Structure 1
Amino acid sequence: MSGKNPYLTAQNTLETPRQIEYRLFSSVTRALMDVRPLMGSAHPAEVAKIAYAIGWNRDVWNHLMPEVLDEANRMTKDLKVALINICIFVNKHTDKITQGQSTDVEPLIAINRNIMDGLK
């Protein structure tokens, strides 16, 4: 048996890139919403959940940037600049959370929801 997952292959074949991006943002946003009530907790298990969710969100944004910056990408320059600025904000805000300077994941959730609305 090959190492490929036939269900994942079929799903990726049936979904457009926009649908895949929407599903990804939906999943990471759900993870952020799930840790919202845990913010500020010192319990190790809850801290781990928070770190995972905000780290995953940062990773999603950081992995988008090469695609945004790709010269072949047909987005307008203004949209590219806006997305780069959002990525910078996401990184700075995530740093504030990880450094204990903030316990507010709401801005990250709001940004992702706005992106999801644009992908619909």
Structure 2
Amino acid sequence: MTFRITPHRQLELQRLHAQSHASRSATLQNQISSGVRVHRPSDDPIAQQTILSQQRVLNRLEVQHNAIQHARASLTQSNEQLLDANQLVVQAKTLALQGRQSQTSFELQSLADEVNLLQMK
């Protein structure tokens, strides 16, 4: 048994296809104009899942970045303190070497005063 499609059914199918194309065209135009492909989860559930996964990764990376910045600031401060301490040790060594070569008590007292000033830093 063969079925024939009536002209009325052909028009109805063409109208449905035209509506479908118009709807798809409107959706694509909305995506192009807004720059957003997925406005709500029902637009594309798989893409929504990917978006949420990437957002979680991004949030985790931001937390790690903030932790690294905090650690870097702490390390920079510690490095500066160590450089200052090294400078004090070098100055103390220089004063000690000068003290070995001192001949008078006045020179020794002057070097001792400088060492006391280093201790206050």
Q: Same fold (TM over 0.5)?
A: no
TM-score, normalized by length of structure 2?
A: 0.31
Relative contact order: is structure 1 or structure 2 higher (C-alpha 8 Å, sep ≥ 6)? 1
Larger Rg: 2
TM-score, normalized by length of structure 1?
A: 0.31
